[in-house]
A and B are shown apart, each in its own frame.
Chain A
């Protein structure tokens, strides 16, 4: 069964700092990997989708990488802003048509 782990569970950084969030998964037989953002009491916003054949995806200040063989993905956030404060979720898509989620990293960017 697929297990997804996110480290660290919480992270606090000063504004302007670059940061990396980590995601690991146990079964490398995945279709894709998706990073989401969740604000308190709100839904999930899709940030980046990486297909299993891809190594990375970029959107603005965000860059996500995927190393399927080692079961790892990272989300890099450049020049962090207070508005980036949220919980970031990593989810692995499998052929079983559902997503396996990590428990998230709660990010706080201090002005």
Chain B
């Protein structure tokens, strides 16, 4: 059974801090790892990492995939209150399977 574990489960920081969120996985046939940001309701897509694309960056957010350690990190620099959200990690185990297995998420709170 595929498994995704995120840490920490919650984190409180001050505006301007840099944070690192962790995601580790155990899947039978890794194909891709995705990061989502969930504010009040629907998760919104941030990044997808695969064997051919192990590092992604968009503005203050960046993510790296470590296939050897079966893990990924999501970095947010110069945090803002608008970054407060649940950050979800999901993994696809490939083949003809398009399903995603999600972790519990990290609740990030950025205080002014």
Q: Is A bound to B? A: no
